[in-house]
Copies of this chain bind each other. A is one copy, B any other.
Amino acid sequence: MTLPVKDLVLKYALAAKKAAHELSIMSAEDKNKILLNIADALEENSEKILFHNAIDVDAAKQSGLDAALIDRLTLTAERVKAMAKGVRDVAKQADPIGEIISENEHDGLSIKKVRVPLGVICMIYESRPNVTADSAALCLKAGNAVILKGGSEAINSNKIISGIIVDAGVKAGLPQGAVQFIDSSDREIILNLIKLNGMIDLIIPRGSENLITFVREHSSVPVLSHGKGLCHVYIDKNASVEMATDIAFNAKCQRAGVCNAMETLLIHKDIAPKILPKLCGLYASAGTELRGCNQTQVIVPNIIPATEEDWDSEYHALILSVKIVNSLEEAISHVNIYGSQHSDAIVTNDENAAEKFIKEVDSSAVFHNASTRLHDGSVFGLGAEIGISTDKLHARGVMGVRELTSSKYIVRGDGNIRK
């Protein structure tokens, strides 16, 4: 007899809550031992993981999923190695639990704010099977239990990865219920999970706008969205031509299907003629489709004309819109109007222009003379990342282990009372 969805989901949540309590008092050493065992097991089972991943990839190709999604879904021996390394990097991080966030004396009281686990975290995500390992590792390190609800397109990959994590984890002392993967693509399950306020402490939806909007609209549990990345690179008139070309090419072509890839290139009118002809040649030879504004069409004659819709599009593919702007101010304004407040870059040798861009562009990460693709947990030194928050509350931008914690005031007195 199968349980009704409501009871099934409650069963997961209760097991997670119990495990969360055990995890919250576990030592850093014990948590790290579990993590290292998980990392080893992932590597040892690489072939098994690739076998199950191939089933998902084949199904995705047959159902005609687009190239960016298939790229995100596909694992290789190297990507499995990277997944295990990510788990080891998390183990290496300083333990966040018990860390003193602030400390002061006031009115004869000693007031400390210390870091504590959040409790139970629920990840609702699509494609990328590495999210399964990264999320489990980060949640454990921060003393949280995690419920994983992956997308149907990666169901075989996620099942095998989470199975390996739980087996290897439990052998090393992981409490039962600390990592649970929900093996179902029933949307009803999501709807029930996001109503468990009081049982689940945080929902992280990571994937399409559609998924995120659905979760945000219906959740009574606090939500941190990992949403749309409509990122820009702006090449200022005082940029180095070579550096600008490298960064603009990298931001689009190094990996197009990810959220921190550039979707629109903004370029100052004074430098555009010196950069665009060669840069557009590079894009073309990398198979990138270009769509340009009126002024761009003059410099790059055969470019597809861009429409208003292009400025508003996250292609998630080898497509790029190009717009020539008349000033730094126009670039900033374009980013703030069309961007998704994710990752935006300026390339310039003019410090004042960089300062203005950094101050006025309201994004989770603003880059000066660096590619937007660098907005990443391992690049930022956080070990693995659970994603990039496009929210402003609690955590903004790339989230590591600290962003999965809460805090508690510890107040010590000597009989102090309120006057």
Contact = CB atoms under 8 A, between A and B. Distances in A.
A277 interface: no
Contact of A406 (B104, B223, B396): B396
A363 B407 CA distance: 9
Nearest to A118: B392
Contacts of A243: 414-415
A412 to B, nearest CB: 5
Contacts of A392: 118-119, 201-202, 222, 406
A370 B201 contact: no
B366 A410 contact: yes
Given A202-B393, A396-B407, A406-B392, A379 B415 contact: no
A166 to B, nearest CB: 25
A25 interface: yes
A251 B411 CA distance: 15
A384 B33 CA distance: 45
Contacts of A106: 379-381
A360 B104 CA distance: 22
Per DSSP, are chain A's interface residues mostly helix, strand or loop, or mixed? Answer: mixed
Contacts of A371: 416-418
Interface string A192-223: 00000100011000000000000011001011
Interface string A374-406: 111001110000000001111011100000001
A270 interface: no
Contacts of A375: 409, 411
Contacts of A24: 362
A412 B111 contact: no
B393 A394 contact: yes
Interface residue tally on A, bucketed by range: 35 or more
A224 interface: yes
Contact of A250 (B222, B367, B373, B417): B417
Contact of A247 (B119, B255, B374, B417): B417
Nearest to A102: B402
A132 interface: no
A358 interface: yes
Contact of A412 (B363, B370, B398): B370
A379 B107 contact: yes
A367 B197 contact: no
Interface in A237-289: 240, 242-243, 246-247, 250-251, 254-255
Given A197-B216, A394-B393, A409-B375, A381 B111 contact: yes
A176 interface: no
A413 B366 contact: no
A240 B243 CA distance: 70
A6 interface: no
A220 B224 contact: no
Given A118-B393, A358-B410, A369-B412, 19 more contacts: A25-B360, A104-B380, A106-B380, A111-B381, A201-B393, A202-B392, A222-B392, A243-B415, A250-B418, A354-B412, A365-B408, A367-B413, A368-B410, A370-B411, A371-B417, A375-B409, A393-B393, A396-B406, A396-B408
7 contacts: A25-B360, A116-B362, A202-B392, A251-B417, A371-B416, A374-B413, A394-B394
Interface of A: 24-25, 104, 106-107, 109, 111, 113, 116, 118-119, 197, 201-202, 216-217, 220, 222-224, 240, 242-243, 246-247, 250-251, 254-255, 354, 358-360, 362-371, 373-376, 379-381, 391-394, 396-398, 406-418
- Nearest first, the 3 closest Cβ-Cβ pairs linking A and B are A370-B413, A373-B418, A250-B417
